[in-house]
Amino acid sequence: QKEVEQNSGPLSVPEGAIASLNCTYSDRGSQSFFWYRQYSGKSPELIMFIYSNGDKEDGRFTAQLNKASQYVSLLIRDSQPSDSATYLCAIQGGKLIFGQGTELSVKP
């Protein structure tokens, strides 16, 4: 089992829909959870972080953490074509580990 696992996609959603990106992890001692967005040919940039169980909202983005089930998800409401990118989850336990990323495509 990979330490941090994401569906590679591509995930395709129509403009205005909700995009749901998921990430599972194996280290139960993980403390910090991050979502990075990476546009094609660019470097990753942090868009959300969450430390506690539950939901954290920031604009159109919501991060959800369930430590008991060992998953973290990112919801993007009212998806826009500009949201088309690869989304990387990163989990901080003893070290920071990145998932392989999920490619999201938002169709106009």
Binding site for other proteins (CB under 8 A): 4, 8, 31-32, 34, 36, 42-46, 49, 88, 90, 92, 95-96, 98-101
In the three-class reduction of DSSP (H, G, I as helix; E, B as strand; rest coil), residue 82 is classed as: helix
Nearest residue (CB) to other proteins, 70 versus 92: 92
| Least distance from other proteins to the Cβ atom of residue 99, Å | 6
| Least distance from other proteins to the Cβ atom of residue 14, Å | 27
Measured distance CA(37)–CA(100) in Å, rounded: 12
Q: Please, what is the Cα angle at 97 between 94 and 102, to 5 degrees? A: 155
| Least distance from other proteins to the Cβ atom of residue 43, Å | 4
| Least distance from other proteins to the Cβ atom of residue 91, Å | 11
At residue 98, what are phi and psi to the nearest 5 degrees? -95, 145
Nearest residue (CB) to other proteins, 71 versus 98: 98
Nearest residue (CB) to other proteins, 18 versus 96: 96
